[in-house]
Structure 1
Amino acid sequence: MTTKTVLVTGTSSGIGLATAVALAEAGWHVIATMRDTGKAGALLAAAGERANLEVRALDVTDPASVTACLDGLDRLDAVVNNAGAGHVGTLELDSIEEVRGVMEVNFFGVLTVSKAALPLLRASGGRLLTVTSVGGVVGQPFNEAYCAAKFAVEGYLESLAPVAAQQGVTVSVIEPAAVASEFVANVGGIGPELQQDERYGKPFQSYLAHVQGAFAAAQPVREAAEVIVATLTAEQPPFRVQTSERAKAVAALKLADTDGSAVQAVTSAWIA
């Protein structure tokens, strides 16, 4: 059997790193990408001497970088869109440029990589997986820009899925809840300014307390990665896959909430 090749974005840490290593362990040829390959040390240490994992530079916001990364590939069986960036803020304090930046990484970056990869995926009858978030299902206070980007990803890919299926490409989104990774520590935005703001400071501090509680019981990153591997290898993977029981509960709340009142009650309590 021909070894299958998968491209994973955002592999310098967190879910991307764990997914790249897990896929290499499962026998895939892994193209592990990151914007700055100088940060590949943790990935290479975790992968050990595995010859079936290679590191390539890829900036998902730069079409030329995406083209260069895919250049020379004659086969690609799967893509895992994982690269992304968090952001905390709120409309009155965020600049529109900041919001556009969040969309550029989390939404347009996914589209840029997916568009470039689709001809290869069509040729192999491959799979396109994108790591979104429960924040792509339930809007979260002080995460307006981030959730908007994740909502956009889910809407775009849900619309694309039946079209891609006719071309032989399976599309799925992976929805984690809190995962024990470096993601929260790397979140951008205006957190310090928010905490001191006379209008938003108190509710933001309540939100931070909620987040700290959620991450105290966060899912191990390897466990989330194993869900991604299982989805890639499933005979007929579903479109929407949650990585934990917590994530399933959040998705179920939203999908059963036809008027939005249940979700608003829950998220309002986070900032009370």
Structure 2
Amino acid sequence: MPAYLETFSEFTVFLNRILAWLDFAYHTRAKKRYSASVTITGASQGIGLATTRYLASKGYNFFAAVKDEVELAKLAEDITDDAHKDLAPCIHFVVMNVLEQSSTDFTLSTISSTVSKTPNSPLIALINNAGYCMISRMELTPPRALHDIFDLDCFAYLSTISAFLPLLKQSSGRVINVVSYGA
């Protein structure tokens, strides 16, 4: 890089810092008045766990849903370890087996009552991430296993969306579906 461009670049960085320091409004911006809520299924490992940690670190109230009590204990231990203990207050752990409508309905009522108690924390997103990875050659995969994958990655997602839609509509919320063979 020519010397004059490098000098110009350094000067603009310096100038931007001065301008930012002089911009009084920049330093006195109002704090965020609410912390939106997000629900994610399949939060105990992989993409779900990483997403839970990331969004909780950004200040979102998080409902981390897992399929059973064993996964719940594992997730709670993982989130409350020394490296991530500052995230724990933002995360609500819930059990929701997306393959069972009664479990989805119960979890939805729990989330709905929690969100309604804090009006400045609307549910803005449902992240459907529940799934499992089956590693086998196609010709060796039993048809029942394919049906199970399709039940989880299609029908369970649709029923979860259907259940959460009224709550999401209240805040113009969004649905994100994570579907892949290895997710």
Shorter-normalised TM range: 0.5 to 0.7
In the alignment, which residue of structure 2 is the partner of 1:39?
74
In the alignment, which residue of structure 2 is the partner of 1:67?
105
Whether 1:113 aligns to 2:164 is: no
Return closer, same or farther for 1:44/1:103 CA change in 2, 3 Å cut-off: farther
- Alignment partners' CA distance in 1, 2:163 and 2:124: 13
Return closer, same or farther for 1:68/1:49 CA change in 2, 3 Å cut-off: same
Residues 12 and 43 in structure 1, CA contact (< 8 A), matched pair in contact too:
no
The 4+ residue runs of structure 1 with deviation greater than 2 A are 43-47, 88-95
Q: Give the secondary structure class of the aligned counterpart of 2:140.
A: coil
Query: What fraction of aligned residue pairs are identical, expressed as a percent?
Result: 30
Which of 125, 138, 148 is 1:101 aligned to? 148
Whether 1:4 aligns to 2:36 is: yes
Q: How many residues align?
A: 136
In the alignment, which residue of structure 1 is the partner of 2:58?
26
- Alignment partners' CA distance in 2, 1:47 and 1:115: 33
- Alignment partners' CA distance in 2, 1:44 and 1:103: 33
CA apart distance, 1:82 = 1.1
Return closer, same or farther for 1:109/1:48 CA change in 2, 3 Å cut-off: same
- Of structures 1 and 2, the one scoring higher in RCO (CA 8 A, sep 6+) is 2
In the alignment, which residue of structure 1 is the partner of 2:15?
none
Return closer, same or farther for 1:101/1:81 CA change in 2, 3 Å cut-off: same
Residues 9 and 80 in structure 1, CA contact (< 8 A), matched pair in contact too:
yes
Which of 108, 124, 128 is 1:77 aligned to? 124
- Alignment partners' CA distance in 2, 1:101 and 1:63: 16
CA apart distance, 1:90 = 4.2
Which of 4, 9, 14 is 2:46 aligned to? 14
Runs of 5+ unmatched residues, structure 2: 1-32, 117-121
Taking structure 1 as the reference length, what is the TM-score of the superposition? 0.46
- Alignment partners' CA distance in 1, 2:169 and 2:161: 11
CA apart distance, 1:87 = 1.6
Cα deviations across residues 33-83 of structure 1 (Å, max 9, x unaligned)? 111212222233253143111100011111111111111413421111111
